[in-house]
Amino acid sequence: MAGLLGLQLFPMLLVLPCNLAAQEVWQSPTYTIALEGDSVNITCSTRGPLLGIYLKQRWPKLSNVIYYENGREPTVDQRFQGRVAFSGLQHNLTISVHHLQLADTGDYACQAIMNNEVWGPGTLVVVTEKLPQTVNTCQETQLIHFALPMALAVGFLLVGLGLGAVCVLRRTQIQKLCCARDKNSVCVIYEDMSHSRCNTMSIPNQYQ
């Protein structure tokens, strides 16, 4: 009797792991950190027969975010109305939550409705506070106060270097001009003396 019962249960034991494997739910990412007002994307993937899929917030308190079923209008919780978008189909569905709030921080899990309810591993979403606009303005003002003197100092340095280069160039040009004038004066005197000497030698002696 026991042997007969074992033979009857054996096919069920073979089918059971296959059914469990067919009802797995994958979810990504494992965690994400976003600024207040930004968006996050959570992807739920399943295989096997599927009636529909939930995205639920499990922590800090259990609440529905959406319910999605192919061919039907998605159901969105009032807290997320106008902030949720979908892409893909229920076997591979990406849920985008926009305009994040600090209260959206929590653990989100996909729940597939199959022969039974199968949960995904979950996604931890951490929403951090944005810096106030006044803080950003103060930081920009401090940066301007620091950068302006530096820019002026660099500008004056470049102007000084430019003036120095112009002065050196001008001085070099003047020196070259003076040297050219001195050489020309010497040549003129030499030519005059040579010309005078030649004239003196060419005058015949009247007393011979």
pTM of the model: 0.56
Helix (H, G, I), strand (E, B) or coil at 70: coil
* Structural domain range at position 65: 25-128
* Contacts with 52 (C-beta within 8 Å, 6 or more apart), sequence order: 67, 68, 69, 70, 72, 90, 113
Higher local confidence (pLDDT), 125 or 114: 125
Domain count for the chain, please give it. 2
Q: Evaluate whether residue 4 is within a structural domain.
A: no
Residues 33, 98, single domain; the answer is yes
For the segment 1-48, what is each residue's pLDDT rounded down to a tens digit? 434 333 333 333 333 333 334 458 999 999 999 999 999 999 999 988
Residues 121, 173, single domain; the answer is no
Question: If you average pLDDT over residues 126-142, what whole number do you get?
Answer: 73
Higher local confidence (pLDDT), 146 or 159: 159
Residues 122, 155, single domain; the answer is no
Residues 55, 109, single domain; the answer is yes
Which parts of 31-148 are beta strand (E)? Answer: 31-35, 40-46, 52-59, 63-68, 75-76, 84-89, 92-97, 106-113, 117-119, 123-128
Q: Evaluate whether residue 56 is within a structural domain.
A: yes
Q: Evaluate whether residue 52 is within a structural domain.
A: yes
Residues 122, 153, single domain; the answer is no
Looking at residue 154, its pLDDT comes to 66
- Tokens coding 74: 């998605």
For the segment 150-194, what is each residue's pLDDT rounded down to a tens digit? 667 767 777 777 777 766 777 777 777 766 666 555 444 444 454
Residues 110, 166, single domain; the answer is no
Looking at residue 23, its pLDDT comes to 57
Cα(96)–Cα(94) distance, rounded to whole angstroms?
Answer: 6
Which parts of the chain are beta strand (E)? Answer: 25-28, 31-35, 40-46, 52-59, 63-68, 75-76, 84-89, 92-97, 106-113, 117-119, 123-128
Give the CATH number, domain containing residue 68.
2.60.40.10
Q: Evaluate whether residue 137 is within a structural domain.
A: no
